[in-house]
Chain A
Amino acid sequence: MDFQSCVKINREWDIVGARQIGREHAKKIGFGTVDQARIATAISELARNIYLYADTGKICFEIINEIDRKGLWILAVDNGPGIADISQVMEDGFSTSGGLGAGLPGVKRLMDQFDIISETGKGTEIRTVKWVRK
C-alpha cells in the first residue's frame, strides 16, 4: 500500500512532527478529542521506539474510507536491530524505557488493531489501526 504521508524519524523533535501530522489526519477523519489524544500518544510511543532503538525509521499514515466505517492506519517501520522476543515486549510491566503503561502494550491499548513483524538484524514493522467511534 502507498501511504499518503510519511514522517522520517531521525531526531527526537521528529516525534513532534509525527504527532502533528497524525493529529491533523485524525481531526480530518472525525475523531473526537479523546481519541485524537490517544492517537497522538500512540504515535509518540512508536516514534520514540524508533528514535531510541533504531536510529532511523519512519511513521506513515493512511486514511481508511470504507462504506460503513472510517479509520486511521499508522505504520511504523525501521531498519533497527529488530525484536528477538516479541511476546516479551508485549508483556505488561516489561518496558526497557521504564515507563509505566508505556511501550508497545500501551500502543495496543490506545489503538483498535495492532500487528507487529520483526526480524533480528533487519528491523521492525508495526501496523496499527484506530476506527472512528460511531
Chain B
Amino acid sequence: MNKVNLDLENYRKLLKQYMITQDEKALYQAEQFTKLSMQHNISPEEIVNVHIQALKEIYPDLPKEIDDSMSFLLEAMISYGLAYQEFQSLREKQLELKSEISVAANMQQTLLSTVKPSIRGLDIGATSIPANQMSGDYYHFVKDNEDTLGIAIADVIGKGVPAALSMSMIKYSMDSFPLSQRNPSAILENLNRVVERNVDPSMFITMFYGLYDPKTSVFQYSSAGHEPGFYYNAKMDKFDEIKAKGLVLGVSNDTVYQQYELEINKGDMIILLTDGVTECRLADRFIERDEVLDVIKKFTHLPAQEAVEQVYKYFERLQDFQLRDDFTLIIIKKDV
C-alpha cells in the first residue's frame, strides 16, 4: 500500500479515482487520509476545504449552487473543529493527571510501606489493594524488642487522593508515639486527637489496633468504629466476631476507647479487614458478612499469606475485576 500523503494533490487523486470507479480501494485510502489528518491535528473544516479545492480542479465548471453549498458546509464544520481541538487538549491533560497520580501513588506506597515481621509461633498474611491508584486503607505492623506485635488497620471513609493524604498523617503520627506506648486504647486516643485537630470534619477514619504478646499469648485490642474482624477458636472450631465498641476517629477530641483481651491458643486465628472486603458488591446487592466468612473459611487451611491472596482473588473475580473500594485483609494464625 502506498504511503498516504497529506496533501491536496493526493486527495484530488483519490477523489478522482473514486468519482470514476466508485472503487472501495479509494474509500479505504480516504479513511487512511483522515486518520493521518487527525494525527496531524488537521481540523474537519480544512478537510472540507481540501475537498472543495479538489472538486473545483476536477470540475472547473462546478455549478455555483454546489460551490455555495460546500462553503456552507465548511462554515458548519468550524465548531466541530473547535470541539475536536478542545477534546484533544483535554485528553492530553487527562494523561498528564494520570501520570501525576501514579507518581503520587508510588510515593504513597513508599511512605506507607510496612514490613511483615516474623514472630515466633505466628503465621502472618496481609494484603491491601487500592480500588483506584491511591489507597484510603492502611495497615501497619510494629514489632518491639520484646517480640510483641502491634497491628494497625485503618480505613478512611471515602477513597482516592484525599483519603490517601489522611492516611499518611495517621502513619506519621503513629511513628512519633514512643515505643513504650503500646496500649491499643491509648494509641487510638492519641490518634483521635490528631485526627480531630487536623482533618476536615466531613472525613472519618475507622481504625483497629491490636497488640499481641507471645509470652502470655494474650491479644489486646481496641477499635474506633472499625469493621469487626473475626476470631477463630480452634478448640471449639468456631468463628466469632471480634466485637469492640468505639467511636470513629476525629469526631470529638476526648473520646475514650475501651480495651479488650483475647487469649490466643494453638490453631487459633485472627482475621482483620476493611469494609472493602465486607461491602463487596455483587451485581445488585452487597455481600452478607456470613458469605464473606464462608469465603475466608475456604482458604484458611493455606499458609496465611497465600490465604489472604486467594481470598482477594476470589472477590476480585466476583466483582468482575472492578474493585469499588480499597481492600485490606490480614490473617494471623497461631501455629504453636
Contact = CB atoms under 8 A, between A and B. Distances in A.
Interface string A22-49: 0000000000111001101100000000
B93 interface: yes
Contacts of B102: none
The B contact surface, by secondary structure, is helix
A121 interface: no
A41 B74 contact: no
Contacts of B46: 34
Contact of A37 (B75, B87, B89, B90): B75
B75 A102 contact: no
Contact of A101 (B75, B84, B93): B84
B86 A106 contact: yes
Nearest to B50: A34
Contacts of A37: 45, 74-75, 78
Contacts of B74: 33-34, 37
B86 A92 contact: yes
Nearest to A110: B82
B49 A100 contact: no
Contact of A33 (B49, B81, B93): B49
Interface in A100-134: 100-102, 105-106, 109-110
Contacts of A102: 79, 82-83
Contacts of A33: 49, 52, 71, 74
A105 B82 CA distance: 9
B198 interface: no
A109 B82 CA distance: 8
Interface residues of B, number: 19
Nearest to A109: B85
A10 B45 CA distance: 30
Nearest to B84: A101
The A contact surface, by secondary structure, is helix
Contacts of A32: 49
Contacts of B85: 101, 109
A34 B74 CA distance: 7
Given A33-B49, A101-B85, A93 B90 contact: yes
Interface in B11-52: 45-46, 49, 52
A34 B45 contact: yes
Nearest to A93: B90
Given A34-B45, A34-B46, A34-B49, A40 B75 contact: yes
Contacts of A34: 45-46, 49, 74
Nearest to A38: B78
Interface string B58-94: 0000000000000100110011011111110110010
A99 B78 CA distance: 13
Nearest to B53: A33
Given A32-B49, A92-B93, A102-B83, 13 more contacts: A33-B52, A34-B45, A92-B89, A93-B90, A100-B79, A100-B83, A100-B87, A101-B83, A101-B85, A101-B86, A105-B86, A106-B82, A110-B78
Shortest 4 CB-CB contacts between residues of A and residues of B: A101-B83, A101-B82, A100-B83, A101-B86
14 contacts: A34-B46, A37-B75, A38-B78, A41-B75, A92-B86, A93-B90, A99-B79, A100-B83, A101-B79, A101-B81, A101-B82, A106-B86, A109-B82, A109-B86
